[in-house]
Structure 1
Amino acid sequence: MQNKTHWALLALIVAFGLWARLWQLENLPPGFYTDEAFYALDAVEVMDGARPIYFPANNGREPLYIYLLAGSIQLLGRTSLAVRAPAALLGALTVLAAYGLARTLFNPRVGLIVAALAAGSLWTIALNRIGLRANTLPPLATLMLVVAVQAWRRYSFVKHPSMTFRTLAPTLLAGVLFGLCFYTYTAARLIPLSCVAVCLFWYIAKRSSFPTIRWLTAFALPAALVIAPLAVYAAQNPAIYFGRVEQVAIVGRGERSLFDNLFAVLGMFTWQGDANARHNLPGRPVFDVVLGLLFWGGVALAAYRGWVRRELAYVLALVWTATMLLPTALSNEAPHFLRAIGAIPMAFVFPALALDWLWNKTNRLGQGVLSLALSGSVLLNAATYFTTYAQDERVPFYFQAALTTLAAESNAYLAEPAHTLYLDYQLWEKFPALRFLIGERANLVLLEPQATLEPVNTQAARLVLRPEFGVSPALALWPAPVHLQGENGALYRNDNEVNAYPLYLTFTQQALEANAQPLADFGAAQLLAVQAMPAANGYNIQLTWAANAPITEDLHVFVHLKDGEAMAAQADNVLGGLYPAQSWRAGDQVTQVEWLLLTEELQPARLRLVMGLYRFPSGERLLTGGQDAVELPWLSLLSQ
């Protein structure tokens, strides 16, 4: 296949892989996970002049990705896109490197198949769209293998034992790349084990072609020099450097047997995949049924060619894949696709080998069927990410989408210099995403624990609190009279919780409605304004009230959307919502927001909004103008 078609197919595959990693990257996956935020904050410190060899925060992290992030953030700003773009580009580089590796070890056709599988796999796409350091390991390790194999082949063809620049340069480069792997991700620490195992087999099975001491020295010396600074750090700070490994290891914990983990890891390719929605569509295996059968067929073929025929390329594929699966096999939550990332792209070699074998055994028609089947499988797997995975209701919670919502709301509010945002310090400290996406601002005030709240000296302020605080801090900040709008924040739940809840409450100061003619007067409470605004699956109804006097009764508001005499939607809540009427002070104005769920499309001209107040729990309605409800035409309420 050494023709223009071959190279055109490779270009198409790489372009597809790049598109699948960059399209809608800032918004998909939705949110900005804590681990991504820690990387981003460390990158900001690098931009400010820090130059650590290892980053101890958040269980310790290798530095390469963080240094890449510093440049990306400098270019794209403090955004989730800046944090994820390097991972996406590294993923596309992995596709190209996968081709080079498979071509070098086997043949160009296997190279194309491996590249296609790497480009369209849900496993690779999902991980490459998250801003995590693990994404640096596959491209660097794959390039290291390509260069090392090519370097040895070039040297072995030279008839004299001395090393020329033509043979020395790639060998030194391979050693440098080997050393740099240790600066990528924790799983890279197992690369030497894989190399030792392959070399041991090589020495026993084919001693005559085993690398010379001179070549091994030329490879090992630059590798050792590159690794040395990190090795010194590890020796001086073993608790930091090895702490994460001890946290997740199953050895000595009795949580799950090694046999159970091995069985789960072997099953991840064809039976049961990672259950974590950050890494995978929960439970989906790496391969579909057809590719899964080809995977195990390829494993059998590689075992035969490696063990019986002593072919080193097949041994390398088997040993490398097995070794790079150890991080998930020896830790909790197996199978864990992120910890198994070192097996990318070598794991894709096995179905490619089986397909290549079938290709050589069939005619043109059969080859056409194989090509269509492979293309369809790759496209369907990629499409799964942008359809099924993107629509999975668990994904926004796993990526803490509530934090990006809060950050976007805060940044929009803070963009006006006259506005002041008061933010709960506990939210700021607990969620590093807020510290990165918002950053320190002159008009941002963090409310420290146990701090004495003083009245604000601004006419435009917003208070963001955890729900357990309620309205009390708001009343301390704003003396009466004040116009406040209280709203629930975005829904949140962590990985171990079942039910979602508002992560925060917002109380926003609004301009007082001076001399406003009330729409209805219920005695102690007056209805000043009503507005309907489009929202997800319905409308938000903004009700603005005024307190004539303190209210001691437990009053509730009902909001009914009528289509003729039929009930189209309804809402019911305490009067005032998050600022309950029993806390109102004379002169205060309160805007509460109630959501109306619409299950079908309605004709606006036929709709009317009926609302009023009643005493709880008796249900007795309060009168206004002799009526027990206010009726308003729907069209007059729609926001312009």
Structure 2
Amino acid sequence: MLKVKCHFGERSDSRIKHSRFWSSSPRCRPWRTLPLAGSFGEAGQSDVFFLLLSGLFAGLAFNSYTPGRIFFLVPLFYLFITKNKTKILPFLISFIILTMPLSFYLIRNPDIRVNQQSFLTNNSVSITNKFSYLGQNIVKTALMFNVRGDVNGRHNYPLKSALNPLIGILFLVGLIVGIHQRQNKTNQLFLIYFIISLIPTLLTYPHENPHMLRTFTVIPSIVYFIVLGLQWLTKFIPNQYRKISIYIVFMLLILSAIYEIRTYFYYQNQVFKQAFEIKKDISQVIEKDSL
């Protein structure tokens, strides 16, 4: 649903253009979902190729939209919990090589967007207010999945929950199961993936939340918990009804997909163009956003 183009990719402020906007279009965001490609599948094997590949994807994620810069923590965490600490080096080699240019650039030209968006770096905000903001963000983000979604028409059909009722229930069940069975290494991996995905949103000002675009990278962990919830629920189905239950689930998933397609192509289509309208002079918008 997030077919949002970068309209300000050619801005004159080079610090913004090169460190954020050039890569914020959806075509670059899949790199934030791929750092596990090597570490999850092959971390226990001797072939370091997959670890180098994982570092490559983590580096591409780092070079994408700002929240992607923390996703190298996910494969690192997995290597630690699977006791593959000696295999961190191949991962870090490819990751560091790919991230060095942007890292050196940001050292000389700090990304002002982070300071603009995060209350954590604002010294004028008291500790009490920071905790208050964090609490508000936790509540708003939690409700975003099943109750009250993003109001911004560029990210979502205004106020629609991120997940429809069927998928939302499966997600909640899977999340509860994952927390309950947290000793499972795969559950640990996707729980930390889920938490890391939410950090950028939780540290921004509450008036901008819920923010579906900023939590885009939570999708892989959501899919995992949906499947985990479905798998857990099937344990309660008697064997003689297993076959028909598969057909029922399949039909429900098709209806769920139709529901989402209808929402996007019919309802959100009506507000999508208006959401990108600029009602002020473009120079005023750029100047305000650059402050």
TM-score bracket for this pair, using the shorter chain length: 0.7 to 0.9
Q: CA deviation at 1:261?
A: 0.8
Q: 1:180 to 1:375 in 2, by over 3 A?
A: same
Q: CA deviation at 1:194?
A: 4.0
Q: CA deviation at 1:398?
A: 1.4
What SS does the aligned partner of 1:37 have? coil
CA distance in 2, matches of 1:148, 1:347: 20
- 2:60 maps to 180
Is 1:364 the counterpart of 2:243 in the alignment? Answer: yes
1:134, 1:184 within 8 Å by CA — same for their partners in 2?
Answer: no
- 1:147 maps to 38
Structure-to-structure mapping, 1:122-137, within 5 angstroms? 132-133=24-25, 135-137=27-29
Q: Deviations over 1:493-538 (max 9, x none)?
A: xxxxxxxxxxxxxxxxxxxxxxxxxxxxxxxxxxxxxxxxxxxxxx
Match of 1:327 among 200, 203, 207: 200
Match of 1:229 among 54, 76, 101: 101
Q: CA deviation at 1:427?
A: 5.0
- 2:15 maps to 56
What SS does the aligned partner of 2:214 have? coil
Is 1:375 the counterpart of 2:250 in the alignment? Answer: no
Aligned length: 273
Q: CA deviation at 1:235?
A: 1.1
Higher deviation after alignment, 355-364 or 223-232: 355-364
TM-score (ref. length: structure 2):
0.83
1:269, 1:286 within 8 Å by CA — same for their partners in 2?
Answer: yes
One-letter code of the match for 2:55?
A: G
Q: 1:217 to 1:335 in 2, by over 3 A?
A: same
1:268, 1:274 within 8 Å by CA — same for their partners in 2?
Answer: yes
Q: Deviations over 1:166-189 (max 9, x none)?
A: x12222222122112111110012
Q: Which runs of 5+ in 2 are unaligned?
A: 287-291
Q: Deviations over 1:303-335 (max 9, x none)?
A: 1222xxx22111111111111111111112111
- 1:400 maps to 277
1:134, 1:338 within 8 Å by CA — same for their partners in 2?
Answer: no
What SS does the aligned partner of 1:400 have? coil
1:302, 1:318 within 8 Å by CA — same for their partners in 2?
Answer: yes
- 1:271 maps to 147
- 1:246 maps to 115
One-letter code of the match for 1:381?
A: E
CA distance in 2, matches of 1:323, 1:398: 28
- 1:466 maps to none
- 2:289 maps to none
- 1:295 maps to 171
Q: Which runs of 5+ in 1 are unaligned?
A: 1-19, 22-28, 46-53, 66-131, 156-166, 203-208, 403-425, 433-640
- 1:106 maps to none
What SS does the aligned partner of 2:157 have? coil
Structure-to-structure mapping, 1:130-529, within 5 angstroms? 132-133=24-25, 135-137=27-29, 139-155=30-46, 167-195=47-75, 197-198=77-78, 202=81, 209-213=82-86, 215-238=87-110, 241=111, 243-251=112-120, 252=122, 253=125, 254=129, 257-306=133-182, 310-332=183-205, 333-362=208-237, 363-392=242-271, 395-400=272-277, 429=283
Q: CA deviation at 1:356?
A: 2.4
Q: Deviations over 1:209-244 (max 9, x none)?
A: 51142x211111111111111111111112xx2x11
One-letter code of the match for 2:258?
A: L
Structure-to-structure mapping, 1:588-607, within 5 angstroms? none
Q: 1:218 to 1:331 in 2, by over 3 A?
A: same
Q: 1:396 to 1:141 in 2, by over 3 A?
A: closer
Percent identity at matched positions?
24
What SS does the aligned partner of 1:397 have? helix
Q: Deviations over 1:344-403 (max 9, x none)?
A: 2222221221112334543212221111111111111121111111224xx33211188x
1:55, 1:62 within 8 Å by CA — same for their partners in 2?
Answer: no
Q: CA deviation at 1:293?
A: 1.6
One-letter code of the match for 1:290?
A: L
What SS does the aligned partner of 1:325 have? helix
Q: 1:385 to 1:325 in 2, by over 3 A?
A: same
For the aligned residue pairs, the C-alpha RMSD in angstroms reads 2.9
What SS does the aligned partner of 1:268 have? helix
One-letter code of the match for 2:118?
A: A
Q: 1:197 to 1:145 in 2, by over 3 A?
A: closer
